[in-house]
Amino acid sequence: MRFVIVGGGPAGNTAATSAARLGATVTMIERDVVGGAAHLWDCIPSKTMIATGGAMSFLRRSTGMGLEQASPEVDTGALTARIEDIKSHLQHGTSELLSSQGVRMVRGTARFTGPNTVLVDGVDGSEEIAFDNALVATGSRPRIPEWCQPDGDRILTTRDCYPPKVFPASVTVIGSGVTGVEFVHMFSSFAAKVTLVVSRQQVLPGKDPEVAAVLEDDFLRRGVHLLKGARATAIDRDPDGDGVVVRCDDGRVVRSSHAVLAIGSVPNSDGLDLDAAGVDTDDGGYIPIDHNCVTTAAHIYAAGDVSGKLPLSSVAAMQGRKVAERLMGLHSRQHRHLDYDKAASAIFTEPEIADVGLAEAEAFASGRKIRVTKVPFSATPKALINNDPRGFVKIVSDPATGVVLGGSIVGRHAAELISVIALAVTANLKVSDIVESLLVHPALSEALAEAAE
């Protein structure tokens, strides 16, 4: 079976290695680098910079741990080198894995020329490749509104922020979703004066208000200026200086050295000639898929950001794996459909925020009866030892059966700790299963066991 994959991000890579392992003849076409946007611009560089910023703020707070005052300074060159090292290490590892599984990698830009063919415009000329099945995993790119033209120098998209040429003295971030708040956190960790333009009255619209409130408190403590209820309508270079001027619809104006757009993304579906293969897109350019990731053409799949589901690397990779399993006939035996409502996600701010499954507000809105238990980390010995008692664990369960339906964690290592609740939600475990697990002491996970009581 000839399986062609367009795009080498988390969706494409995972599909390629899983399908090859199960016996498919796999060709993966990638125009840029294996690892995709996730490695090049999104997850890896952003989290590497956030980790350095986190180390700096941890050191600044370490006086409470019996240490002398530490005042670390960032070395931009060393940080850039570190980002590049991590990226190339991961890219190398991914390429090795793909070749060890016998995946043929073709470097170039692909487009469909018929229901069973793609044409690759590559560095070594063009090549037509025939397939029995194909996967479109071409990802997405930052959305650029018509009212602003990024210049890569002062008016930036999230992709222009790495490697950091300079750290902005002051920055206005437009967009208060997950990406926006992570950039606010990152720049403020490096001592920039940050303004966040928040179109509603709450950062992270759609998240549990209690969770958003903890983050807003941290932003205010750091001196971040929150411009609530405002929509940016223009960003221009400042005629009176080196910086930029951001204008909002309510007349407010913000001046800063840089501005960063974090207002979502658009799918990379243009230029693929999907019509030739019988694959439809919706009005936003996303490729609609069914619960098996099948597009409007029964032999062609789509996965990752381009499919318009949850724009997360972890979800993209799981979709890729499910596609490979279905393709190779595993679905009849052990294949479980992907349930997007059970995807864990995290926001790498300080404190970290992570959640999974049913949210309290969502349950109340739908009138569903739930039991909510909440334990603050301040009651946990390890949080006190860590000198960081901020945040809490919240578990949502079914009052009749005790089955865990969801949860959120705000606090140090929330992104790691949420795995316990994610496993419980996926495997339909009960709160009693968490309570009866013999966990480590002293550890932050003790708050999980207590919240499950």
Ligand X SMILES: Cc1cc2nc3c(=O)[nH]c(=O)nc-3n(C[C@H](O)[C@H](O)[C@H](O)COP(=O)(O)OP(=O)(O)OC[C@H]3O[C@@H](n4cnc5c(N)ncnc54)[C@H](O)[C@@H]3O)c2cc1C
Cβ(192)–Cβ(53) under 8 Å?
A: no
Cβ(211)–Cβ(355) under 8 Å?
A: yes
Residue 253 tokens, joined: 């104006």
DSSP SS3 for 283: coil
Residue 149 to residues 83, 114, 187, 363: CA-CA distances in angstroms?
27, 36, 22, 41
Least gap, CB of 403 to ligand X (angstroms): 26
Could you tell me which of 79, 255, 262, 236 has the C-alpha nearest to residue 183? 262
Q: What is the amino acid identity at position 278? A: G
Distance between CA 239 and CA 415 in Å, rounded?
43
Establish if 9 lies at the interface with ligand X (CB under 6 A): yes
Establish if 174 lies at the interface with ligand X (CB under 6 A): no
DSSP SS3 for 261: strand
Contact flags string 271-300 toward ligand X, x per CB under 6 A:
-x----------------------------
Go through the chain and tell me how many residues it has: 453
**Binding range to ligand X, per CB under 6 A, among 31-39, 374-382, 390-398, 429-437:** 31-39
Could you tell me which of 325, 273, 303 has the C-alpha nearest to residue 117? 273
Q: Considering the complex, state which of residue 261 and residue 434 has its C-beta at the smaller distance from ligand X.
A: 261
Residue 337 tokens, joined: 């459909």
Contact flags string 307-336 toward ligand X, x per CB under 6 A:
----xxxx-x--------------------
Q: Considering the complex, state which of residue 32 and residue 84 has its C-beta at the smaller distance from ligand X.
A: 32
**Binding range to ligand X, per CB under 6 A, among 135-143, 204-212, 244-252, 389-397:** 135-143
What DSSP character marks residue 224?
P
Q: Which of 53, 54, 139, 164 binds ligand X (CB under 6 A)?
A: 139
Q: Considering the complex, state which of residue 42 and residue 446 has its C-beta at the smaller distance from ligand X.
A: 42
Q: Which of 7, 168, 180, 406 binds ligand X (CB under 6 A)?
A: 7
Q: Considering the complex, state which of residue 6 and residue 232 has its C-beta at the smaller distance from ligand X.
A: 6
Establish if 95 lies at the interface with ligand X (CB under 6 A): no
Q: Which of 4, 5, 11, 327 binds ligand X (CB under 6 A)?
A: 11
Q: Considering the complex, state which of residue 136 and residue 451 has its C-beta at the smaller distance from ligand X.
A: 136
Least gap, CB of 356 to ligand X (angstroms): 13
